[in-house]
Amino acid sequence: MYRSLNARRKSIAGRHFHFLGQNFAKAFDVKFASKTGTLDYVWATSWGVSTRLMGALIMSHSDDKGLVLPPKLAPLHVVIIPIYKGLQELENLVKACEPLIQELKQLGIRVKLDTRDTQRPGWKFADYELKGVPLRIALGLRDLAQHQLEIARRDTGVKQLILMKDAPEIIKSLLNEIQDGLLQRARQRMQAMSHYVDDYETFKSKLETTGGFIYAHWDGTAETENRIKEETKATIRCIPLNNPQESGTCIYSGKPSTQRVVFARAY
């Protein structure tokens, strides 16, 4: 899977699938019994992901404040930051939070109550924004007296006051909204950075001006792909599995083509 990244409108290889042939089998002497009863070296493939996926995640969703993590991947869903003066106020707030924390955990929501007295609340707000925690809750004695709390979304920065009794279901709903919203924004960004071209001059112009993914016809030869790479530094990133078949001409050679492939410059 490849994603065109917003910063430089280039592509990054997120995960790879390789046909390894018999090279590794010969190196490690791995054999199998064939139908004829003879031993032969196995044919191998490699399927996997790398830490580049984390780089793509960070570059795709995050902003100038730090990480923005999809809830399904975030190690922590909710952080609760008490606003207090003195140990007694802290104890009262912690006691009031205990039922909410247990309800959230029962819903499978990962939650943390930050009771550190070495940092002020404002510092903690910035720290958890930097770490990309999807939801932040601030709770003070005034909020507690009105049975409410303030919740802030990391993706949009929107804050709202909600009743404590409604908090578990609202938090669950907000996490789903954040997950779906980040996905839709990424899809819209990818669509906005995808361009269809039919001639080589437009192809080169798009690479220099807008970048992103370029869908263009290709004659299917390695020679043409290599020449395009040498002249533009763009390569074929993938041939989509659901690619529509359409008649056209290769943007470089002018030879017949049956489908468009995805070109991009890569990191």
Tell me, what CATH number does 203's domain have? 3.30.110.30
**Do 128 and 185 lie in a common domain?**
yes
**Do 122 and 181 lie in a common domain?**
yes
Distance CA 261, CA 179 (A): 30
Alpha-carbon dihedral of residues 137, 140, 143, 149, nearest 10 degrees?
10
pLDDT (tens digit per residue) in 72-126? 999 999 999 999 998 999 999 999 999 999 999 999 999 999 999 899 999 999 9
DSSP SS3 for 234: strand
**Do 205 and 116 lie in a common domain?**
no
**Do 228 and 160 lie in a common domain?**
no
**Do 91 and 183 lie in a common domain?**
yes
**Do 212 and 158 lie in a common domain?**
no
The total number of structural domains in the chain stands at 3
Report the relative pairing of strands 31-33 and 159-163 from DSSP bridges: unpaired
**Do 220 and 260 lie in a common domain?**
yes
Crossing angle of helices 222-232 and 200-209, rounded to 10°: 40
pLDDT band at 132 (very low <50, low <70, confident <90, very high): very high
C-alpha pair distances (Å), 24 with each of 21, 107, 219: 8, 46, 32
Return the pLDDT at 17.
75
| Domain interval for residue 17 | 2-60
Domain assignment of residue 73, yes or no: no
Domain assignment of residue 232, yes or no: yes
